[in-house]
Amino acid sequence: MTELISDSVSNELTADTPIMAFAQLQLAAPLARAVAEMGYESMTPIQAQAIPVVLQGRDVMGAAQTGTGKTAAFALPLMQRMLKHENASTSPARHPVRALVLLPTRELADQVADNIKMYGQYTNLRSTVVFGGIDMKPQTLELKKGVEVLVATPGRLLDHIEAKNCVLNQVEYVVLDEADRMLDIGFLPDLQRILSFLPKQRTTLLFSATFSPEIKRLANSYLQDPVTIEVARSNATASTVEQHFYSVEGDDKRHALHQILKDRGIKQAFVFVNSKLGCARLARSLEREGLKTTALHGDKSQDERLKALESFKSGEVDLLVATDVAARGLDIKDVPAVFNFDIPFHAEDYVHRIGRTGRAGQSGLAVTFVSKSDLRLVTEIEKLLKTKVVLEPVEFEEDLPDIRKQGRINDGRRLYQPDHVSAPRADKREFARAEPRHSRPADPFFEKPYEPSLSPETAPAWEVSAVKPGSRNISSNIKTKRKVAALFARA
């Protein structure tokens, strides 16, 4: 029977009493030192409810809004329980994989691995991350040394399993983070294969911001007597995020983006689109319009994706234009705004997109541009959030050109200009040298009536001289057949 812990049922952890502090967890000294250095003081609701349950060794289904600290909710208690296996031996056999963390995207896997490394920096527990898009050899060398905590994306992990680079027969803990996303992008067959390599007796944890019926069926298949922890209404958005929906047609979206950035004084923001091609084009357009922009989508190499994230984190660029590959789990602090340039096809992705702002209790702004063709998608968001969406107009300043009203022309360089900006014309002197057609004298030959061809008697001299007597007026350029003797008589 599944046990349920939720805010509505268990108020003693959220409403009636203050959230517990990390100092009250009685973590081991190395973990407590790392947590203190990272500035962790009070626990979020998901941490306050999940950590004690995981410390007991129970299976967990944790549902909470993105940005509420789910990584620490599962990583800290698992590392606390694994400290009994801690050792300083250099032998790989003494460091088998004991905890496996599976995530849907490379960026999220890299981020979670960094957090786990920081939590365990004062312990002898080893951790590493494996994901696609880069060479397997460095990952293989790390795995051969032995690691206790392995963070991975499903596809690359299967590659290493088939290459016999890692053995999972001693895994005690499995974490599926952003499990709904892994099902959305078709990882279920890979998940089933990976889980078949693991011991049946293990602790399994599922964490996500949204739980669909498919996720619950998956949990019932692989979890044993799980504790379901819901710290907020399912599929809810963070209360710290201010949401606005603006009625803007496609041609005006870029100008609306400029207007809101200027009015709000926003220095950095995510800009989400639905397609890889649209992501690249929008990033180029915004770059030409004077905004420091970088793009992040699935067609970029892993090095390019990591560089784009790093430049955004360091403040080198103002806007990160991205597809939904950046919508899940990325923790970039102090991002003030998120723009939905395109409304997501799945309403659940809206929750994850706007979760990139307003993290860790900070305030944030979520702006969605809605055109006439997007009304059906807006209805789906209303059903998910159980609230009515109010469309607001955008008031453009006079110095911002209104493309939809003025029209646009293409000068052949993929750069659209308003039609009042005339295209470069030829030098006026070129037109001056050419006479107007009506002023030139007409050729009398073309005004003569039709005359039939000349007869042979009145043929021109150059044709008469070429005609030989008795040649039946055959041209000298035509060779006649020569007469040859017949070899056989006709019958």
Higher per-residue pLDDT: 39 or 329: 39
129 lies in the same domain as 75: yes
Find out whether 411 and 262 touch, Cβ atoms under 8 Å: no
Identify the domain boundary among 397, 417, 437: 417
> What span, in angstroms and rounded, lies between the C-alpha atoms of 127 and 80?
14
Residue 341's pLDDT is 92
- Residue 455 pLDDT grade (very low, low, confident, very high; cuts 50, 70, 90): low
Does residue 431 lie in a domain region? no
Most confidently modeled range among 297-301, 391-395, 480-484, 486-490: 391-395
Q: Is 425 within a domain?
A: no
Q: How confident is the model at residue 449 (pLDDT cuts 50, 70, 90)?
A: confident
For residue 301, the model assigns a pLDDT of 79
Q: Which amino acid is at 33?
A: R
Mean pLDDT check: name the lowest of 83-92, 165-174, 386-395. 386-395
Give the count of domains, the chain: 2
- In this prediction, residue 460 carries a pLDDT of 55
Mean pLDDT of 73-88: 92
SS (H, E, C) 332-387: CCCCCEEEECCCCCCHHHHHHHHCCCCHHHCCEEEEEEECHHHHHHHHHHHHHHCC
Residues 186 and 38 in one domain: yes
Span 21-45, pLDDT tens digits: 888 888 899 999 999 998 888 888 8
CB 127 within 8 A of CB 151: yes
Question: Cα 113–87–97 angle (5° rounding)?
Answer: 45
d(CA 149, CA 100): 6
Q: Using one digit for the tens of pLDDT, what is the confidence trace for 130-174? A: 998 888 999 999 999 999 999 999 999 999 999 999 999 999 999
* 218/269 same-domain check: no
Q: Strand (E) positions, 35-134?
A: 60-63, 99-102, 127-130
For residue 46, what are its two tokens? 């998901």
Q: Which two tokens stand for residue 381?
A: 């968001």
Within-domain flag for 478: no
Q: Which of 384, 417, 450 is the last residue of a domain?
A: 417
Share of the chain above pLDDT 70, in %: 73
Please indicate whether residue 326 or residue 74 has the higher confidence score (pLDDT).
74
pLDDT band at 310 (very low <50, low <70, confident <90, very high): confident
Please determine, for residue 462, whether its predicted confidence score (pLDDT) is greater than 60.
Answer: no
Kindly state whether residues 68 and 30 are assigned to the same domain: yes
Please give the average per-residue pLDDT across 432-458, as a whole number. 60
Mean pLDDT check: name the lowest of 58-62, 177-181, 236-240, 406-410. Answer: 406-410
Q: Which residues, including other chains, have CB under 8 Å from residue 207's CB and lie 6 or more apart?
A: 60, 62, 63, 64, 70, 73, 74, 175, 176, 177, 178, 179
Q: Per-residue confidence at 476, pLDDT binned at 50, 70, 90?
A: low
> Is the pTM of the predicted complex or chain greater than 0.85?
no
The larger pLDDT score, comparing residue 334 to residue 76, is at 76
Residue with tokens 């067959």: 189
Supply the range of the domain harboring residue 391.
Answer: 241-417
Give the percent of the chain with pLDDT over 90.
27
pLDDT range class, residue 194, cuts 50, 70, 90: very high
Flag whether 304 is in a domain: yes
Residue 411 sits in a domain of what CATH number? Answer: 3.40.50.300
Tokens of residue 215, six digits: 């996720």
Nearest CA to 72 out of 87, 51, 90, 99 is that of: 51
Residues 245 and 218 in one domain: no
With respect to residue 63, please indicate whether it lies within any of the assigned structural domains: yes
The answer to whether residue 292 scores a pLDDT higher than 80 is yes
Q: Give the angle 264-69-126 at the CA atoms, nearest 5°.
A: 130
> What per-residue confidence (pLDDT) applies to 389?
86
Calculate Rg over the CA atoms of the chain: 37
| 202 found inside a domain | yes
Give per-residue pLDDT as tens, 350-373: 887 887 887 666 788 999 999 888
Residue 193 in contact with residue 158, Cβ under 8 Å? yes
Domain presence at residue 73:
yes
The domain boundary, picked from 230, 252, 272, lies at: 230
